[in-house]
């Protein structure tokens, strides 16, 4: 079993130990399931024999921004350096689904919400999710996973520029379905380039959730929006995450995006403040 832990998961262990308990129940996968572990004088023993000494428990407990992989008795932070982007990618715990941090930027909203609730808002904004869906930035795969769960969805094509992000996703328990769901097809490459290979009108929905403008300005460009319009079927919808529409930065980005989306051919563009984005209709 792949064991992934954060300070949220190990919090009950010290308390149980201080009370003289010989076992405790914790999650081995960031809240998705529960197992009972044995508490010994040396540390914690999982059902599969994996061991975590008390010093490592303390290390996890004091690391509020990190997730860790336990392999046998070896503990390592879930963190990689991307040769493609030149940035560090890491898994960041939230008490629910984790997010990924790239170059210091979290890839989901975490203030007042959590990454999976954030994903659900984006999916609701583009609902109903039907037919073939294009997810322009895989990340941890939450968008692709949730879109694929719609009974009206026939397929999801999801594009990821960075193999480092996919490496983090493979270690994230919440991303497992990204690699097992037959509805989901992964493409590794730059969305700006890859979208040009798709046929006209191929997708019913596009979920466009790019990194911030400072990290991926080309994915906010008029030329990219024109390609989105081209590959979107008549009557289709594009959800575009742009950030908090009520903030000064978000309103500036959204004004420019709305202008360029309309210039690209979209009939109307509707703000979706709850989802921190806009929906463009063809």
219 and 128, same structural domain? Answer: yes
pLDDT of amino acid 49: 94
Question: Tens digits of per-residue pLDDT, 105-125?
Answer: 888 888 889 999 999 999 999
Q: Where are the beta strands (DSSP E) in the chain?
A: 3-5, 23-26, 35-39, 43-45, 51-53, 68-71, 74-77, 79-81, 88-92, 99-102, 105-106, 131-135, 153-160, 184-188, 203-208, 232-241, 268-272, 277-281
CATH number of the domain bearing residue 128: 3.40.50.150
The answer to whether position 25 is within a domain reads yes
pLDDT of amino acid 102: 87
> For residue 51, what are the domain limits?
3-76
Q: Give pLDDT < 50 ranges for the chain.
A: none
58 and 12, same structural domain? Answer: yes
210 and 168, same structural domain? Answer: yes
The answer to whether position 90 is within a domain reads no
236 and 149, same structural domain? Answer: yes
Contact 251, 213 (CB under 8 A): no
Other CB atoms within 10 Å distance of the CB of residue 101? 21
pLDDT of amino acid 103: 80
140 and 277, same structural domain? Answer: yes
Edge-first strand order for the sheet with 68-71 is: 3-5, 68-71, 74-77
Mean pLDDT of the chain: 94
172 and 63, same structural domain? Answer: no
**What backbone torsions phi and psi does residue 20 show, to the nearest 5 degrees?**
80, 15
Q: How far apart are CA 251 and CA 41, in angstroms?
A: 56
Choose the final residue of a domain: 76, 101, 126: 76
pLDDT of amino acid 130: 96
pLDDT of amino acid 46: 96
Question: Tens digits of per-residue pLDDT, 150-188?
Answer: 999 999 999 999 999 999 999 999 999 999 999 999 999
The answer to whether position 98 is within a domain reads no
The total number of structural domains in the chain stands at 2
The answer to whether position 26 is within a domain reads yes
Other CB atoms within 10 Å distance of the CB of residue 248? 8
pLDDT of amino acid 215: 73
Closest CA to 126 of 104, 100, 152: 152
The answer to whether position 100 is within a domain reads no
143 and 69, same structural domain? Answer: no
240 and 183, same structural domain? Answer: yes
Contact 179, 205 (CB under 8 A): no
Whether the model pTM is above 0.85: yes
The answer to whether position 15 is within a domain reads yes
pLDDT of amino acid 79: 97
The answer to whether position 99 is within a domain reads no
20 and 140, same structural domain? Answer: no
pLDDT of amino acid 55: 95
Q: How far apart are CA 229 and CA 203, in angstroms?
A: 10
The answer to whether position 89 is within a domain reads no
């Amino acid at each position: 079993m792949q064991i992934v832990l954060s300070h949220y998961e190990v919090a009950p262990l010290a308390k149980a130990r201080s009370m003289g308990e010989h076992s405790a129940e914790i999650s081995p996968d960031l809240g998705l399931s529960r197992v009972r572990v044995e508490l010994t004088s040396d540390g914690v023993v999982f059902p599969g024999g994996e061991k975590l000494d008390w010093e490592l428990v303390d290390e996890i407990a004091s690391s509020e921004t990190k997730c860790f992989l336990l392999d046998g008795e070896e503990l390592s932070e879930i963190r990689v350096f991307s040769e493609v982007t030149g940035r560090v990618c890491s898994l960041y715990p939230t008490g629910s689904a984790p997010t990924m941090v790239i170059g210091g930027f979290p890839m989901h909203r975490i203030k007042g919400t959590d990454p999976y609730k954030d994903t659900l808002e984006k999916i609701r904004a583009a609902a109903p999710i039907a037919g073939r869906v294009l997810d322009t930035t895989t990340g941890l795969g939450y968008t692709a996973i949730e879109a694929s769960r719609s009974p009206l969805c026939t397929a999801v094509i999801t594009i990821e520029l960075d193999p480092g992000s996919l490496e983090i996703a493979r270690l994230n328990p919440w991303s497992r379905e990204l690699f097992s769901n037959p509805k989901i097809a992964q493409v590794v490459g730059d969305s700006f380039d890859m979208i040009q290979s798709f046929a006209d009108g191929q997708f019913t929905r596009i979920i466009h959730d790019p990194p911030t403008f400072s990290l991926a300005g080309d994915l906010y460009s008029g030329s990219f929006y024109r390609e989105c319009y081209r590959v979107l079927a008549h009557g289709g919808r594009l959800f575009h995450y742009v950030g908090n529409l009520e903030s000064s930065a978000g309103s500036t980005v959204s004004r420019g995006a709305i202008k360029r989306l309309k210039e690209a051919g979209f009939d109307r563009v509707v703000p979706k403040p709850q989802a921190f984005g806009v929906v463009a209709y063809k």
